[in-house]
Amino acid sequence: MTLERQLRFWLAAAALFVGFLWLFSGVLLPFVAGIALAYLLDPAADRLEAIGFSRGLAALTIILGLVLTGLLVLILLVPLLGDQLSAFVTELPVLVTRLRALAAPMVDGPLAKLMGGDVSALEGSLGQALSQGAGFVSQLLQSILSSGKTILSILSVVTVAPVVAAYMLVDWDRAIARIDGWLPLRHRDTVRRLASEMDAAVSGFVRGQVAVSVTMGVYYGLGLALVGLRFGLLIGLMSGLLGIIPYLGFGAGLIAGLIVALVQYWPDWHGILLVLVVFGVGQGLEGWVLTPNWVGRSVGLHPVWLLFALFAFGSLFGFVGMLIAVPAAASIGVLARFALEQYLASPLHLGTGDETPALPAPGERAIDG
């Protein structure tokens, strides 16, 4: 098969895969979530097999443990988080009004001098922006909470994804072996090497970053709740959830925590300082202990590339796209590095071979034969 025919084949396969995702994105969520769970839990199943469990018993044990843990979280945390989220949506306009009142001395003082004393336009724009932002967030959260489609999607994931994950865990090794048998013999070693690098990048980042995000979410939630911050548990857990993108969870949580702390504690600095201490200690724990040991430095996934992948795949395929964004970004990164290696070793880059005549060096004249 020529290079042109190979390129056409893989482009057609990629187009079919993208078309499949786009066409069935509405029903793929529980299946993609189940496959993702099976991928994340496969090392645990391998360890149970190593100590004498059968593959089916290992899969059943893991899924039952996961379901029981999920039920425990639902019973203990969901009612509390639901109350905090409902209270946050209700009080968001009040928080914005108090924040505007706190910002008024700054607007009337240094900013007034900077703008020559006329700050009415700035106050109007700031107030309008805050009101519109609060209204948008409040409407978005209320629509999410009251959306029947959202509730149906959550129920489908909770009920179907564990079943899919159990079946995939049982058949995971056989499925990988079968796919390996389909590889083109001429390029099998290269494809295996690329697949191994993709697996290392995805597993190293996803498993490690998920563990870091869960740990930091629990830490921030408990820490902010213990210092008495309103909505502290909600802000902390959301900060951990957003922590799948490095620095995004910390930044969003810090901004939200400081805004609520300013409204709640001002002019007392002790509560604000405690919130800063919680986030400062958390950032040190994440950056110096958890991330180096659980994620590592060699996964090759830049935070900006991850953020772009989440937005791009989420825009194209919805929540299903967000689930596949990280493995897709890691895989594309591996393929891009492989393509760069091929280019750097090619005659096009090295300037060798008869097909690429050498250009005269700067300052030299070509000699006519």
Q: Average pLDDT over the chain, rounded to whole?
A: 77
Q: Give the total residue count for the chain.
A: 369
Q: What is the pLDDT of residues 123-158, one digit of tens each?
A: 555 555 555 555 555 555 555 555 445 556 667 777
pLDDT band with cut points at 50, 70 and 90 for residue 369: very low
3-state secondary structure of 300: coil
pLDDT band with cut points at 50, 70 and 90 for residue 296: low
Q: What is the pLDDT of residues 103-122, one digit of tens each?
A: 666 555 555 555 555 545 54
Query: 228-248 burial by CB neighbour count: b if 16+ within 10 A, else e?
Result: ebbbbbbbbbbbbebbbbbeb
**For a pLDDT cut of 90, what percent of the chain falls above it?**
8
3-state secondary structure of 250: helix
> What pLDDT is stored for residue 242 in this prediction?
82
- Quick count: other Cβ atoms within 10 Å of Cβ 279? 20
> What pLDDT is stored for residue 30 in this prediction?
84
pLDDT band with cut points at 50, 70 and 90 for residue 1: low
Tokens of 97: 């009004």
Query: 74-92 burial by CB neighbour count: b if 16+ within 10 A, else e?
Result: eeeeeeebeebbeebbebb
For residues 295 and 1, the answer to whether their CB atoms sit within 8 Å is no
For residues 206 and 59, the answer to whether their CB atoms sit within 8 Å is no
Separation CA 206–CA 160 (nearest Å): 22
Cβ-based neighbours of 162, under 8 Å, separated by 6 or more: 34, 37, 63, 66, 67
**For a pLDDT cut of 70, what percent of the chain falls above it?**
77
Separation CA 181–CA 192 (nearest Å): 11
- pLDDT above 50 for 294: yes
Residues 50-69 have a mean pLDDT of: 90
Considering only CA atoms, which of 298, 307, 302, 313 is closest in space to residue 201? 298
- DSSP string spanning 112-140? HHHTTT--HHHHHHHHHHHHHHHHHHHHH
For the chain, the first-to-last Cα distance in angstroms comes to: 40
pLDDT band with cut points at 50, 70 and 90 for residue 366: very low
> What pLDDT is stored for residue 305 in this prediction?
78
Q: What is the pLDDT of residues 309-333, one digit of tens each?
A: 878 887 777 767 777 787 888 888 8
